[in-house]
Amino acid sequence: MNKIDSYIRTNFHYIALFFLIFNFFNSCDREIGRLSKRIAKLEVKIDSLTQVVVTRKDLKIEGLRSEKRMIQSTDRKILDVNRQSEIDREIESLSK
C-alpha cells in the first residue's frame, strides 16, 4: 500500500494532467456529436428553403404568363405590345 501511496504522491501532477486531458477530449467528443446533429437539422432547413425559392420563382413566371395571356385576349394594341415584350424579358431573366 505504501508503494502505491508514494507513487501517487510523487506523480500526482502527471496523473491529474492525464485525467484533465482525458476529460477535455471526452467533452469535445460530446460537443462534436451535438454539432453534427445541429448541422443535420440546418441542412434540412436549407433544403426546404431552396424548394420554397424555386416555388416562388415558378409562381412569378406563371403570373407573368397569365398577364400576357390576358393582354393578348384584350383588343388594345400599342401599350400592350410594349408590356408583352417586357413580360417576355422578365420571364427569360427569371428562367435563367
- With contact defined as beta carbons under 8 Å apart, do 94 and 61 qualify? yes
- Residue that the C-alpha cell 502505491 belongs to: 4
Confidence check: pLDDT of 65 > 70:
yes
Confidence check: pLDDT of 38 > 80:
yes
Q: Compare 27 and 81 and report the one with higher pLDDT.
A: 27
- With contact defined as beta carbons under 8 Å apart, do 1 and 8 qualify? no
Total count of domains within the chain = 1
Mean pLDDT, rounded, of the chain: 82
Range of the domain at 23: 2-95
Tell me, what's the pLDDT at 75?
66
pTM: 0.43
Tell me, what's the pLDDT at 71?
80
